Amino acid sequence: MAGSKDQRIEHGRQLARELFEWTLPELMRPDEQRLADLRVKYRRLSQAQFDDVLRQVREAKLYQQERIGWQAVPHDIAVLVLVLVTVVVDLRVGIAACVGVLVLLESLFQFYFNRKLYRPLSFLVWLTYPAYLLFGYWIYRMGYGIPYIVVGVLLASLGTFVLGALSRLPVRMILEARARGRQEGEQRRKAPSDKRT
């Protein structure tokens, strides 16, 4: 009986690995023939167990996609700040505000993730496109030609991505150092107990 349970657990793991290779749209609206083939392949799993593995993989893929999208939110907010402050005040003030907001949010978003907050913030990406158009129009109104407009919009877009990646490095280094410190601390705690025995 225990062997049968272990085999079902292993089949569940194999099914999860196979399903995790699917794209999220394929998981949300799976092809019935593919599912039928998988049910035959993993017939040791009951229908409820098979459906539970499918549900868990869907949730894991959705969570993974949200975590990736969460990392793009600081870029979107920084672009909006850059454009709005530039149009209202000045380009130099807009750049300074953009850099400050970007560095602050990149650091914060490395430590904090909120699924409920991600959903409304994810729509900010759709506001960045009109913001780029507004920024290009502002550059045009300042009397610059098409090449300057293109360069300005590209710098606003790509520059915030590059600066965002650079501003994540110190936080990533801090997190890695903290993880190493914990591991070393656990090893030190285990070492004295090993010597006593």
Per-residue pLDDT of 142-153, as tens digits, reads 999 999 999 999
Res 149: pLDDT: 94
Per-residue pLDDT of 16-55, as tens digits, reads 999 999 988 898 998 899 888 888 898 888 899 989 999 9
Res 132: pLDDT: 96
Is residue 5 predicted with pLDDT exceeding 80? Answer: no
Helix, strand or coil, per DSSP, at residue 145 = coil
Is residue 194 predicted with pLDDT exceeding 80? Answer: no
Q: Which of 98, 70, 71 lies closest to 84, judged by CA?
A: 98
Residues in the chain, overall count:
197
Q: What is the mean pLDDT of the chain?
A: 89
DSSP H helical ranges for the chain: 2-20, 24-28, 32-41, 47-70, 73-88, 91-111, 115-121, 124-141, 146-196
Res 12: pLDDT: 87
Per-residue pLDDT of 157-193, as tens digits, reads 999 999 998 988 888 888 888 889 888 888 888 876 5
- Residues 70, 109 contacting (CB under 8 angstroms): yes
Res 168: pLDDT: 86
Domain boundary assignment for the chain? 2-70, 73-194
Q: pLDDT grade, residue 8 (50/70/90)?
A: confident
Structure tokens that stand for 118 in this block: 């991600």
Per-residue pLDDT of 77-129, as tens digits, reads 999 999 999 999 999 999 999 999 999 999 889 888 898 999 899 999 999 99
CA 174 to chain centre: 19
Res 129: pLDDT: 94
Res 192: pLDDT: 64
